[in-house]
Amino acid sequence: MTEENRDLQNQARILVKCPDKPGIVSVLSTYLHKHNANIIESSQYSTDPENGMFFIRIEFYCDRLEAKKSEMEREFTEIAALHRMDYSFHYRTNRQRSAIYVSKETHCLMELLWEWQNGDLETDIALVISNSEAAREVVEPLGIPFYYIPANKDIRAEVEREQIRLMAEYDVDLLILARYMQILTPNFVSHFENKIINIHHSFLPAFIGADPYSRAYKRGVKLIGATSHYVTNDLDEGPIIEQDVERVDHRDDIPTLKKIGRKIERRVLAKAVKWHLENRILVEGNKTIVFH
């Protein structure tokens, strides 16, 4: 085992959501100190110190964590019950497995593949699914399985059954819609709650749905943007993870807007995926708390 792998084997993260009250941080730090764990990074947020919710993400190092983690988790269930905590443990050696869905436009896929090759995404890309052959020549040389599955509204149920089967076969944790231009059914979404990240090519809630650049051009906007969000059954209305914009003016036609927009889409989606994989996001209702 390399020194780097040994180091990761002893690192983990705890995400906690609970009713706010004095002493929560002390409870968590005391618990970690008891197990000789050293806090590497800690971020917290309270909606209202009086009657609100409290959110915290703690990354820690603990020697011999592999041997200790079962007992640590068992002990934490008692703490969680006492303070009405929703929580999760995430171990650095347990890399999430991702599936990327894409259609004809491959710019977001390319960005994700570059980040992954560069070691900046904590994931194994298990497979790529597309309703176009355009991405095959990009994906297969990297040793990533590529599945061409034509999709339209007439065969949607059949397609989604196959996609769900593949997600189970490849043990996928996260689905990334990298400009996958298909509407997902409630049945499909229900299998992957808060595990599907989409990129929408507008600054939501403006221009929900199809062809937002053309509609933005007709409206004469001075800013265009992109939004990455978790997918729910309401089209383009799931919890927002990240957004960004760039200024445009009357000289920019629709092709120019699309060219500028693609750059925004790439960076917004990559950030959202990175933060999800690093366990930096907590979902509260239709909002997110993102610990940058």
**For residues 127 and 166, is the Cβ–Cβ distance under 8 A?**
yes
Do 274 and 195 have their domain in common?
yes
Give the CATH number of the domain where residue 22 resides: 3.30.70.260
Q: What is the pLDDT of residue 49?
A: 72
pLDDT of residue 4: 58
Would you give the end-to-end CA distance of the chain in angstroms?
30
- pLDDT of 205 reads 74
Bridge partners (DSSP) of residue 283 are 288
Beta bridge partners, 176, equal 100, 197
Q: How far is CA 96 from CA 113, 175, 248, 250, in A?
A: 15, 11, 38, 44
Active site residues: 236
pLDDT of residue 80 exceeding 60:
yes
Residues 84 and 168 placed together within one structural domain of the fold:
no
Q: What is the mean pLDDT of residues 237-241?
A: 93
Average pLDDT over the chain reads 94
Q: Give every CB contact of residue 134 below 8 A, 6+ residues apart in sequence.
A: 103, 104, 105, 106
Mean per-residue pLDDT for 198-212? 82
Whether pLDDT at 195 is above 80: yes
Alpha helices in 84-211 (DSSP H): 107-117, 136-139, 156-169, 186-190
Domain identity same for 159 and 218: yes
Q: Which of 56, 74, 91 is the last residue of a domain?
A: 91
Provide the CA 287 distance to its chain's centre, in angstroms. 14
Query: In this predicted model, what pLDDT tens digit does every residue of 208-235 receive, in sequence order?
Result: 777 888 888 889 999 989 999 999 988 7
Q: What is the mean pLDDT of residues 139-167?
A: 95
Domain boundary among 91, 108, 134: 91
- Return the SS3 of 133: coil
Same domain flag for 34 and 162 = no
pLDDT band at 25 (very low <50, low <70, confident <90, very high): very high
Determine the residue type at 236: D
Q: Residue range 78-94: average pLDDT?
A: 97
129/248 same-domain check: yes
Task: State the residue for tokens 């390319």.
Answer: 110
What is the rounded CA–CA span in Å between residue 123 and residue 102?
18
75 and 113 co-located in one domain: no
Domain count for the chain, please give it: 2
- Whether 48 and 122 map to the same domain: the answer is no
Q: Which residue has the tokens 């196959």?
A: 162
Q: Do 72 and 121 belong to one domain?
A: no
Decide if 57 contacts 13 (C-beta within 8 A).
yes
User: Taking 50 as the threshold, does the pLDDT of residue 240 lie above it?
Assistant: yes
User: Are 7 and 104 found together in one domain?
Assistant: no
How far, in Å, CA of 180 to CA of 100, rounded?
Answer: 9
Express each pLDDT in 55-68 by its tens digit.
Answer: 999 999 999 999 99
pTM of the model: 0.93
Domain containing 216: what range? 96-290
- Which of 68, 91, 114 terminates a domain? The answer is 91
Residue scoring higher pLDDT (277 or 216): 277
